[in-house]
């Protein structure tokens, strides 16, 4: 488990937040944190719930999972839409099923694809309209070079239309 890359990906300085995103037994989590401390990669203050990176993170990822993520994004792209990060995470982590990818592997694999430029993340926010529609934040996972703004706008407008129909 690459503690430094996970820490960078999460953009946190809280030990508790880092641990919340580690999908492993507590023994594995503790050993990973101890190893990172011993290697001089991080400094941890458990009493203050703080963790500080002392070295530059070296990207790492689950190759099989990265390949599956790319295949899913390419499948959606062939239909001229972009998949949302929420949809993808529901496929990766399904509490009803016994078989899931490890969440920290998903986070790091997705960030690796973003860091290497294989995919881009496009965030679209829809403001709240009182008594009509809630605030919503879409995080689209896109292939570079696609007309992503157009595809994302279609998805957002469809969501707004569906919300408006229910009110």
Confidence (pLDDT) at 163: 86
Residue 58: inside a domain, yes or no?
Answer: no
Q: Are 101 and 162 contained in the same domain? A: yes
pLDDT above 70 coverage of the chain, percent? 97
Q: Are 39 and 69 contained in the same domain? A: no
Residue 20: inside a domain, yes or no?
Answer: yes
Confidence (pLDDT) at 16: 97
Give the domain-ending residue among 53, 75, 93.
53
Q: Are 44 and 71 contained in the same domain? A: no
Q: With 90 as the cut, is the pLDDT of residue 85 above it?
A: yes
Q: Are 123 and 100 contained in the same domain? A: yes
Residue 90: pLDDT band with limits 50, 70, 90: confident
Residue 18: inside a domain, yes or no?
Answer: yes
Q: Are 12 and 93 contained in the same domain? A: no
Q: With 90 as the cut, is the pLDDT of residue 84 above it?
A: yes
Domain count, the chain: 2
Q: Are 14 and 39 contained in the same domain? A: yes
Range of the domain at 77: 63-166
Average confidence score pLDDT of the chain: 93
Q: Are 49 and 69 contained in the same domain? A: no
Q: Are 75 and 154 contained in the same domain? A: yes
**pTM value?**
0.84
Using one digit for the tens of pLDDT, what is the confidence trace for 103-162? Answer: 899 999 999 999 999 999 999 999 998 888 899 999 999 999 999 999 999 999 999 998
Q: What is the DSSP string of the chain?
A: --HHHHHHHHT---HHHHHHT--S-HHHHHHHHHHHHHTTSEEEETTTTEEEE-SPPPP---HHHHHHHHHHHHHHHHTT--EEHHHHHHHH--TTSS----HHHHHHHHHHHHHTTSSEEEEEEE--BTTTB--EEEEEEE-TTS-HHHHHHHHHHHHHHHHHHH-
Residue 162: inside a domain, yes or no?
Answer: yes
What CATH number does residue 67 fall under? 1.10.10
Q: With 80 as the cut, is the pLDDT of residue 98 above it?
A: no
Q: Are 94 and 49 contained in the same domain? A: no
Q: With 70 as the cut, is the pLDDT of residue 167 above it?
A: no
Q: Are 42 and 69 contained in the same domain? A: no
Residue 92: pLDDT band with limits 50, 70, 90: confident
Q: Are 122 and 156 contained in the same domain? A: yes
Confidence (pLDDT) at 140: 97
Give the domain-ending residue among 53, 73, 91.
53
Q: Are 73 and 149 contained in the same domain? A: yes
Confidence (pLDDT) at 116: 95
């Amino acid at each position: 488990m690459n503690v430094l890359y996970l820490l960078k990906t999460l953009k946190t300085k809280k030990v508790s937040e880092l641990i919340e995103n580690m999908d492993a037994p507590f023994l594995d989590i503790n050993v990973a944190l101890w190893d990172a401390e011993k290697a001089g990669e991080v400094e941890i203050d458990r009493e203050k719930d703080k963790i500080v990176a002392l070295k530059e993170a070296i990207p790492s990822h689950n190759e099989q999972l990265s390949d599956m993520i790319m295949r899913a994004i390419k499948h959606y792209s062939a239909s001229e839409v972009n998949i949302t990060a929420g949809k993808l995470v529901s496929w990766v982590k399904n509490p009803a099923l016994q078989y899931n990818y490890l969440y920290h592997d998903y986070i790091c694999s997705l960030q690796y694809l973003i860091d290497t430029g294989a995919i881009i993340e496009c965030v679209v926010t829809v403001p709240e309209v009182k008594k009509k529609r809630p605030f919503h934040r879409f995080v689209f996972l896109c292939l570079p070079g696609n007309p992503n703004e157009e595809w994302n706008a279609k998805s957002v407008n469809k969501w707004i239309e569906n919300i408006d129909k229910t009110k």
